[in-house]
Structure 1
Amino acid sequence: MKNPVSINPATGETIGTYPRLSIVDAKVKLVKIKKTFDSWKKTTFEERSVLMNKLADILDDEKEKFAQLATAEMGKTIGQSRKEVEKCALVCRYYADHAMTLLKKETIETEAIKSYVTFQPLGAILAIMPWNFPFYQVIRFAAPAIMAGNVGVLKHASNVQGCAYAIEEAFINAGFPKDIFTNFNIEAESIKEIIEHKTIMAVTLTGSESAGRSVAAIAGQNLKKTVLELGGSDAYIILEDANLETATDLATFGRLQNNGQTCIAAKRFIVIESIYDAFLKLYTIKMKAAKMGLPTDETSYYGPLARVNLRDNLHLQVEKSISQGARLVLGGVVPKGKGAYYPATILADVTPGMEAFDNELFGPVASIIKAKDEKHAIELANDSIFGLGSGVITSNKERGEKIALQIESGSSFVNKLVVSDPRMPFGGIKNSGFGRELSGYGIREFVNIKSIWIE
């Protein structure tokens, strides 16, 4: 059993080694976790709220420590790491304040003396989480699940185990019972046995399409609920009436945020042909000006990818797209030296059938696609196996709303990049997964929606 090593993607230096948890020890822990749930589910929302607010305070008070850890382990710029931790505290406070209302029993008018719907916790929820938002992805699942009366079991990515254990410690320091939230540093091969264990009642996964298919198959065989948030190739339609300064500013940040490693990042820019050349010219200037550098440098716009192999795979996708007819406008060359760096890259004249159109490019690479008109732009946006996020950039908000309603995705934003907000449901359709996180819809994913009828 090989212990995972955390490597700084900016320098190649080893940060730490984290001992694996054997499947035998994991099963012993699961028995304890079940006992903890049996007690935790009896607590009141008020009791849970006090602890969740304490967790938010810890995230705020120790923000710099957590941010430095996230930057060291996966390479996001330090400013964005700080914002990630701040958002975690925001989500904790949202559910601490609203869980009781979101899960309030609903009276149903029937011929019964009394009839209503109540929402009861399921038990232990297994979360299989990725490295790109090592704190937020976890809190986004854990805060609503635990406020609903469940307990959380985390299988985090191997390269961010420092973050995983830091989150576990934060829960303990906030005063939560020891087994309310537990990090399982297990091998991928052990996930099947964990899902099959009787203590695990449901699974949530954020990750690749292949991982989602595998986990969903195992969970399905064991009749366990799943929520999947998978990949995306988000389309942003740039209409001919768009303000080009605004559009290119959004496109630059949208493609370079988190070093381009975001499921809901803007990836395919579908531009009406009358402004195509002007958009591309201005966009190239701004992407070229964005500074790539050490993620700890406050002036860096973006840093390295999380691992060298991810950078190399991305480069292969770029080269394949070029061989298929895409035009390289900027970047596309692997830098020399240490670190998993890849430059801001623009591929123009991308069409369906090309790698850069059909598949997700998880890094600072933008695909520019020409559309004849609005109708063609919508068709191109929907010509995808993915359906996570999308956007429309236009000076006509009503027109933008009408188009947003026609794009096949879990969310569509007009004149703004897609973001996750605890007040709004988050998730996708098609190969981007199913189920929802956040909001009232998210907290109800992992509860028993139970009907009560009294004659």
Structure 2
Amino acid sequence: MQIKSINPFNGKTIETYKSHSLKVTQDIIAKMHKSYLDWKRGSFKERAALLKKVAIVLRDEKEECARLMAMEMGKPVTQGRSEIEKCARVCEYFAENAEDFLKPEQVPTDATKSYISFQPIGIVLAIMPWNFPFWQVFRNAAPNFMAGNTVVLKHALNVPGCALKIESIFQKAGYPADIFRSLLIEHKHIPAIIQNPYIRAVSLTGSTEAGRSVAMEAGKALKKCVLELGGSDPYIILKDADLDLAAKVCAEARLLNSGQSCVAAKRFIVIKDVKKKFEEKFKEEISRFKVGDPLDESTNIGPLARFDLRDTLSSQVKRSISSGAKCILGGEIPKSEGAFYPPTVLTDVPLTSPATKYA
């Protein structure tokens, strides 16, 4: 299978990659296990030194990484730089604090001395999303490396360049071979990878459906599983709220990363007495955001990460309007070659509409 990296700004193919077969994938994992046996014996000091080097490499290559995100999934380059800086900081944070976090914890028992000791467990499979293609990986890898584990990454298929770039960053920082690897694999291979005896835990950030599937596979093998799934977070605007501030904060919270964030504000529940005023102010704030080329320094909102995501969103909006919602801003796919969808505001939204359930 070929994996294509497609620029959502113009629909052009950036690069085509050959996916890893299941056999190649299992061979990579076997090599990683051998490397893990040495890695787990390292000291906190040694691990911290390497992780601090990762922070240096990230900052040195910040511009390249930010531009790569802009081209592969449409993140405005200004936000991409901030994401890389956040990755560097999380590396420094765990390098400086992990030893204290993982020190033995004494517990009272009838024995002379009892304590909890934290030990490495092995290879952790990280199944990560495209919306924060660097941050989601580094916030997972940094604590795992400091704990003595190794990480194999199964990234979203629309950001293969980001996945390989992350692997390159760890290599440039001096990490031993096969401590971190990026797998370019199809989704259908995930169950077999989870069942691999060298994989000791799995972490997924993604949809509820994906989380349910991964949890089921991990459960079959009695392996540790950590899930971060999507949500539909509500903001509540009370009668005595500062409406100017509320509108500004709500607009920024909703449109972060072009609205593609599982922790973003999704729904706004407004007290009836101030609903009309809030709608006007919110609409005004939303209209301030500039939609355009993610490589343009003045752009606030780039295209959505994929064309199918744009089409799904458009369908949800149309079905919500059909169910009774009123559209007071946006709502139509613009005539452009990119995967753009305008900032859209729906009001009087029925609880059963797609906008309420899937926002």
Corresponding residue SS for 1:119: coil
Aligned to 1:107: 106
Tell me what 2:354 maps to: 355
Distance 1:235 1:337 in 2: 32
| 1:81 matches 2:80 | yes
Partner residue in 2 for 1:277 = 276
Q: State the AA in 2 paired with 1:168.
A: E
Output aligned runs, 1:111-126, within 5 Å.
111-126=110-125
Cα distance in 1 between the residues matched to 2:281 and 2:113: 64
Shift of 1:259: 0.6
2:285 aligned partner, one-letter code: K
What is the DSSP-based 3-state SS (H/G/I as helix, E as strand, rest coil) of the residue aligned with 1:159?
coil
Deviations 1:15-67 (A, max 9, x none): 11111111111111111111111111110111000000000111111100111
Aligned equivalent of 1:316: 315
Report matched runs for 1:237-256 at 5 Å: 237-256=236-255
Tell me the distance in 2 between the aligned counterparts of 1:135 and 1:12: 22
Distance 2:271 2:249 in 1: 17
Q: Which runs of 5+ in 1 are unaligned?
A: 362-455
C-alpha distance in structure 1 between counterparts of 2:299 and 2:186, whole Å = 34
Counterpart of 1:25, as a letter, is V
Aligned position for 2:153: 154
Percentage of identical aligned residues: 51
Q: How many residues align?
A: 359
CA deviations on 1:119-145 (whole Å, 9 max, x unpaired) are: 111100001111000100100111111
Displacement over 4 Å in runs of 4+: none
Query: Contact 2:201 / 2:225 at 8 angstroms: preserved in 1?
Result: yes
* Alpha-carbon separation, structure 2, partners of 1:240 and 1:102: 43
C-alpha distance after superposition, 1:422-453 (max 9, x if no partner): xxxxxxxxxxxxxxxxxxxxxxxxxxxxxxxx
Deviation string for 1:62-112 (max 9, x for gaps)? 100111111110001110000000000011011000000011101122221
1:368 maps to none
Confirm or deny: 8 A CA contact 2:349 2:355 kept in the other structure: yes
Distance 1:24 1:288 in 2: 51
- Given residue 211 of structure 2, which amino acid in structure 1 is its aligned partner? G
**Residue-by-residue CA offset, 1:227-255 (whole Å, 9 max, x unaligned):** 11111101111111211111111111111
Q: Deviations over 1:397-431 (max 9, x none)?
A: xxxxxxxxxxxxxxxxxxxxxxxxxxxxxxxxxxx
Alignment pair present for 1:171 and 2:170: yes
Structure 1 partner of 2:324? 325
- 2:336 — aligned with what? 337
Gaps of 5+ in 2: none
Instruction: Please show how residues 394-409 of structure 1 align to structure 2 within 5 Å.
Output: none
CA distance in structure 1 between the aligned counterparts of 2:352 and 2:194, rounded to whole angstroms: 37
Residue 138 of structure 2 aligns to a residue whose secondary structure is: helix
What secondary structure, in the 3-state scheme, does the structure 1 residue paired with 2:202 have? Answer: strand
Letter of the aligned partner of 2:303 in structure 1? P
8 Å Cα contact 2:333-2:340 kept in structure 1: yes
Match of 1:113, SS state, is: coil
Tell me, in whole angstroms, the C-alpha distance in 1 between the residues paired with 2:14 and 2:307: 15
Q: Structure 1 residue 35 and structure 2 residue 41: aligned?
A: no
Give distance in 1, aligned partners of 2:109 and 2:226.
32
Please state how far the C-alpha of 1:337 moved relative to its aligned partner: 2.0
Q: Which amino acid aligns with 1:339?
A: G
DSSP-derived class of the 1:192 partner: helix
The 5 A counterparts of 1:87-236 are: 87-236=86-235
For normalisation by structure 1, the TM-score amounts to 0.78
* Separation in structure 1 between the aligned mates of residue 244 and residue 58 of structure 2, nearest angstrom: 36
Q: Following the alignment from structure 2 to structure 1, what is the Cα–Cα distance between the partners of residues 284 and 33?
A: 56
Q: CA deviation at 1:302?
A: 0.5
Per the alignment, residue 415 of structure 1 pairs with none
The one-letter code sitting in structure 2 at the alignment partner of 1:314 is: L
* 1:7 match: 6
Pairing 1:346–2:345 present: yes
Aligned-residue offset at 1:297? 1.0
- Secondary structure of the residue aligned to 2:87 is helix
Aligned mates of 2:285, 2:109 — CA distance in 1: 61
The answer to whether the 8 Å contact 2:323/2:350 transfers is: no
Work out the CA distance in 2 between the residues paired with 1:294 and 1:29.
38
CA distance in 2, matches of 1:229, 1:15: 30
Distance between the aligned counterparts of 2:247 and 2:15, measured in 1? Answer: 39
SS in 1 for 2:159: helix
State the match for 1:267 in structure 2. Answer: 266
- Name the CA distance, whole Å, in 2 between partners of 1:118 and 1:289: 53
Whole-angstrom distance in 1 between the partners of 2:189 and 2:354: 33
Q: If the length of structure 2 is used for normalisation, what is the TM-score?
A: 0.99
Q: 2-side partners of 1:314 and 1:235: how far apart? A: 19
Partner of 1:366: none
- Which structure has the highest helix share of the two? 2
